[in-house]
Amino acid sequence: MTIVGDQGRDHLVLTDVSVEFNGFRAVDGLNLRVAKGELRCIIGPNGAGKTTALDMICGKTAPTSGEIVFEGKRLNNLEEHAIARAGIGRKFQVPSVFRELTVRENLDVAYSKRMGVFANAFCFGRGAERDGLEKLAEFVGLEDHLDTPAGHLSHGHTQWLEISLLLAQDPELILMDEPTAGMTVHETQKTAELFNRLKVKHTLIVVEHDMGFVKEIGEVISVMHQGKLLAEGSVGEIERNPEVRSVYLGSGGISGA
């Protein structure tokens, strides 16, 4: 990794980042600065480039131009596993858990990945790991489901399990893509409470369509349109922004979206 000077409180900085697919520019000169411990929401219409931006941050897609810097280290063109080791975790839209394993066994796998092959082979620190596993299950609301196969969980519980698998690896920056998709109102509210407890210890970037959820968690909201950053600010500022209302939110604003 290349060290790129002092970034101050900025945990992640994207500078003029673009990517093209067969001549189509999916992200076009995106500039984004996210502070350490911040919970940032990214919103925008379908095709705005939100998921592609996450893909570039986590290394799934290499930018065509521009620079991505995390904790002063340049991430451009690093492999996904190297970016994950640097402290960036990603949750995709569709949960990817081991459906045939129990919640406890899923968490065991996640903890083993963090501990590494050597520590796992000699069962070093397994008592502390078990304690941490149960505390983590309680943190995400799965303490009563530790022995339930993941395939038997509700959609909301499955989403929380995947979030817990990320947390077991203790990433500094967590990328969430549509975390409340398919959730009930009650599950969405519990997820908002969970995210509000996660921020500060972790930096979070959340791509989301549910504007009620965004209003519950968003400190700073970035709005993307046609691959570019259209606007940025608090919920109130975004709600009042005429350009945002025109291209995305409509006359009802965030509260009515």
> 165 in helix, strand or coil?
helix
Q: What's the rounded mean pLDDT across residues 72-100? A: 88
Q: Are 12 and 4 in contact (CB under 8 A)?
A: no
Whether residue 222 is predicted with pLDDT greater than 70 in this model: the reply is yes
Residue 244 falls inside a structural domain: no
More confident: 152 or 9? 152
Range of the domain at 141: 99-170
Residue 107 falls inside a structural domain: yes
Is residue 17 left, alpha or beta, with left meaning phi > 0 and alpha meaning psi from -120 to 50? Answer: beta
What pLDDT band is residue 99 in, cutting at 50, 70 and 90?
Answer: very high
Whether residue 108 is predicted with pLDDT greater than 80 in this model: the reply is yes
What pLDDT band is residue 94 in, cutting at 50, 70 and 90?
Answer: low
Helices marked H in 86-180 — which ranges?
103-115, 117-121, 126-139, 155-168
Residue 61 falls inside a structural domain: no
Residue 205 falls inside a structural domain: no
What pLDDT band is residue 245 in, cutting at 50, 70 and 90?
Answer: confident
Residue 136 falls inside a structural domain: yes
Percentage of the chain lying above the pLDDT 90 cut: 68
Instruction: Give residue-wise pLDDT tens across range 130-165.
Output: 667 888 899 999 999 999 999 999 999 999 999 999
Residue 46 falls inside a structural domain: no
Q: Please give the tally of structural domains in the chain.
A: 1
